[in-house]
Structure 1
Amino acid sequence: MAKITNYISDAFTELKDNVTWPEWAEVQRLTIIVAVFSVIFALITFGVDRGFEILVAKVYSFLKN
């Protein structure tokens, strides 16, 4: 149990003393960039999926007749 406690204590010390944390403004800016690109990627994925749905429906309709 002492090893786990020591590991957790060392991890917190490492995070507190040795990690360079970004400024709050940079965190906000990067969060907005990630959110915008996530929405764009979701819309592109939706468009491709919808396109394939229409294509498969047309092929199925063509083969059915």
Structure 2
Amino acid sequence: MAKVFNYISEAFTELKSNVTWSPWAEVQKYTIVIAIFAIVLSLATWGVDSLFGDLLGKFYNWIRS
């Protein structure tokens, strides 16, 4: 159990002293950019999926008739 506590303590010490954190304004800016990109990508995926679904439906109806 002492090894686990020591590991966690060293991890926190390293995070405090050796990690360079980005400024809060930059983090907010990049979070907004990523959120917008995720929304645009999901809408594009939905649109392509709907298009292919419609095209395959028309193709199968054409083959059946």
TM-score, normalised via structure 2 length: 0.96
Note the C-alpha offset of 1:57: 0.3
Distance, in Å, in 2 between the alignment partners of 1:64 and 1:5 is 68
Residue 55 of structure 1 corresponds to: 55
Residues 2-46 of structure 1: CA distance to partner in whole angstroms, max 9, x if unpaired? Answer: 111100000000111110101010000000000010011001100
Give structure 1 stretches of 5+ with no counterpart: none
* Poorly superposed stretches of 4+, deviation over 3 Å: none
Give structure 2 stretches of 5+ with no counterpart: none
Alpha-carbon RMSD: 0.6
TM-score, normalised via structure 1 length: 0.96
